[in-house]
Amino acid sequence: MILPKFLIGDNTDFPDDIFILHTDYPQFIINLVNDEIEWLEDVKGENETELTNEINDLIEQASIFYDRETERYNKND
């Protein structure tokens, strides 16, 4: 099965939260409301600065993905 890089998740127990799941390495779930991240696997890298930059880029990509998806959803309403 081919998975998209990002998925949107929700849960009625957390009605105000917006979860984005990153399915590639490093797998994580981010709550866009408070930027809290839950890592689903160990994140390791030789260069910590490079790893930090990559993680920041993924967080930004998750936010862009959410904005794009909500825009598309709203166009179809």
- The structure's pTM equals 0.85
Note the pLDDT tens digit of each residue in 13-22: 999 999 999 9
Q: How many CB atoms lie within 10 A of CB 36?
A: 11
Give pairs for 53-60: CB < 8 Å, separation 24+: 55/26, 58/22, 58/26, 58/28, 59/30, 59/35
pLDDT at res. 70: 94
The predicted structure's pLDDT at residue 24: 93
DSSP-based three-state secondary structure for 67:
helix
Task: Please name which of 34, 29, 38, 40 lies closest in space to residue 62, comparing C-alpha atoms.
Answer: 29
Number of neighbours of residue 22 by Cβ within 10 angstroms: 21
Tens digits of pLDDT across the chain (77 residues) = 999 999 999 999 999 999 999 999 899 999 999 989 999 988 877 788 888 898 899 999 999 999 999 999 898 76
